[in-house]
Amino acid sequence: MSHKFNSKNIKKLEYLERFIEEPFDNILKLLPINKLSSIVELGCGSGFYTFPLAHYSAGNAKVYALDVEAKMLDFLRANMRGGEIVKPLHPADVKKIIPILIKENEFQVPDGNIDLFFCAKVFHEIEGFPKFFGELSRIMMKDGLVFVLDWKKEPTERGPPIEHRIDVQVAIEKFKRYKFQIENYGEIFTYYYYIIARMFATNNI
């Protein structure tokens, strides 16, 4: 059984120091977000990453903000109206964001339409990787990018239990098993690793 984040712990997602601990500029250096127009964020929570994804993406972009918990989307919608800590970088960004309540591994977005799948601190929560990668393959454009940011499998001051975390090499092997090409990976911020993968045009799960 995977470890799911509880919406009752919302304060662990919304605190001022997080903007220093996880500066989005570090992600901008890794991804061509300004060239992307169809983004899925899995596990959007209250919008910490949703808002910069919307702000820095192409002017006509759509950011599908997916979460399995309705309460999280309530937090997101409240922040779209102007949160105290987590909030839009510009009012126009809100028009890009499409909140969607989903079931596990059922992404309610169009086939072959997504050029970036963004997954921050959620990969270790996934249940049923064959179905997850099947859905991922369904929604991605040819050569679409997947960005995973997740907890290192080592003791840290906070985060999920270490036994629920997925080591970066194990995560990489999962992508390779389902015929995704690894573009880049490494450490990011203090407690995390990142993986950038690309969907093969001939991918067939």
Handedness of CA 102, 137, 122, 124 (dihedral sign): positive
The Cα–Cα gap between 12 and 14 comes to 6
The pLDDT-based confidence of 10 (bands split at 50, 70, 90) is confident
Check residue 7 and give its pLDDT. 58
The pLDDT-based confidence of 2 (bands split at 50, 70, 90) is low
- Whether the per-residue pLDDT at 23 is higher than 80: the answer is yes
Interval 56-113: pLDDT, tens: 999 999 999 999 999 999 999 999 999 999 999 999 999 999 999 999 999 999 999 9
8 Å CB contact between 189 and 26: yes
User: Looking at residues 169-197, what average pLDDT do you find?
Assistant: 96
User: Looking at residues 48-53, what average pLDDT do you find?
Assistant: 98
Pick the CATH number of 37-199 from 3.90.550.10, 3.20.20.20, 3.40.50.150, 3.40.50.620: 3.40.50.150
Interval 150-172: pLDDT, tens: 999 999 988 999 999 999 999 99
Check residue 137 and give its pLDDT. 95
- Whether the per-residue pLDDT at 3 is higher than 70: the answer is no
Beta bridge mates, 188: 192
Percent of the chain with pLDDT over 90: 87
The Cα–Cα gap between 140 and 186 comes to 23
The pLDDT-based confidence of 1 (bands split at 50, 70, 90) is very low
Assign residue 9 a region (left: φ > 0; alpha: ψ between -120 and 50; beta: otherwise): alpha
- Whether the per-residue pLDDT at 205 is higher than 50: the answer is no
User: Looking at residues 5-10, what average pLDDT do you find?
Assistant: 61
The Cα–Cα gap between 176 and 38 comes to 24
User: Looking at residues 189-195, what average pLDDT do you find?
Assistant: 96
